Amino acid sequence: MRGFLKRDFYLLLPTLKIYGAIFAIMLVVSFFTDLGMSFFSVYVCILSMSGILGLFSYDEANQWQAYAAAAPGGRRGQVEARYALAMLLCAGMILLLLLSYLASRSDGEIMGMPFLYGGLGLLYAAIALPLCYRFGVHKGRMFIMTIVVISAVMGMAGSFAAEMSSTGGGDKFPIWLGVAALAVGILAILISKSITIRIMERKEL
């Protein structure tokens, strides 16, 4: 699994650098406009998880799944590496958002939000990854529509959470609620991984 994980990370690294520049610009915009941190958080969540989907284009272009099938335990190792990368990206996203919220809200307001977006990011990956492995990244309409719907739900959830946090004179967004959302995301990603492993095992038959 380590080899597959390193390969995915190195392929994703240029994209992460571009996203880092985008995040920096968006963070500045969020600080100095009325868009607020919810605008920044939604896009960090979507871009972080979308970056991982681009790896499937490399897989198809380089016949990487055929190579994985030829290696002992390769298909399973590839799937586990892809899911491990999704969880690492989610952890990095949560850390980035925590630091951003601390920098922008010194009173610690709505500090449960980064965990909420972490859970939404994992839910995004949990739905998207099995679809990519099952249908391929270019068999697009159902897959694309699903991603659009997920993105819309994430945006609505972020806006709703931000509205909740501002109700009642600036009360904090409950940390326990954010942690609960993260727990749901972790459960979803674990279930998704088992589904994807079964999908890949059927391809070997």
Task: State which of 25-29, 88-92, 149-153 shows the largest mean pLDDT.
Answer: 88-92
| CB 178, CB 113: distance < 8 Å | yes
Task: State which of 16-25, 74-83, 158-167 shows the largest mean pLDDT.
Answer: 74-83
| Phi and psi torsions of 185, nearest 5° | -65, -40
Residue 171's pLDDT is: 45
- Report the 10 Å Cβ neighbour count for 131: 21
Secondary structure letter of residue 138 according to DSSP: T
d(C-alpha 71, C-alpha 126), whole Å = 25
Task: State which of 22-31, 60-69, 131-140, 190-199 shows the largest mean pLDDT.
Answer: 190-199
Residue 170's pLDDT is: 44
Predicted structure pTM score: 0.79
Q: Write out pLDDT tens, residues 69-127.
A: 666 677 788 889 899 999 999 999 898 888 877 776 545 556 778 898 889 889 888 98
Query: What stretches of the chain show up as alpha helix (H) in DSSP?
Result: 2-32, 36-53, 55-61, 64-70, 74-104, 113-135, 140-170, 175-203
